[in-house]
Amino acid sequence: MNGTICTEERTRNMEAARSSQLTELVRGNEQRLIDEIKPLVRFQSVSLDLASVERIDAAGIAALIALYRIADASGHSFRISSASARVAEMLTLVGLDEILLSHNAALPSNSAPQLARSAA
């Protein structure tokens, strides 16, 4: 991921942990993300920096949803921060932008016109 995992404990103390070098969140490497982040989201809120991730597929999105569910069930939050424009666009296309993206994520400026275009 080449980014940072920020965790917010109930005491509101912030700590950062370096995440593994991941530039694609796709089938085959999504389990590594889950294994790394799952213990954190069970005990504290997490904001995952995806600035260096340029490619995400259905398996990567499923991993993010799984982490969100684990955090939510544990009474914590799980958000994506600094998402690349491509990742933000993919999350928007599947309707997860409002749930997963924090306010500082890079939203694609041209996504609305693309969604409004006719397929014909």
Model confidence over 54-76: pLDDT tens digits?
999 999 999 999 999 999 999 99
Burial class (CB in 10 A: 0-12, 13-18, 19+), 66: middle
Token pair of 83 as six digits: 């998402």
pLDDT at residue number 102: 83
In the chain, where the domains are located = 4-116
Task: For the chain, list residues with pLDDT below 70.
Answer: 1-21, 103-120
CATH H superfamily, domain 4-116 = STAS domain (3.30.750.24)
pLDDT at residue number 22: 79
pLDDT at residue number 1: 44
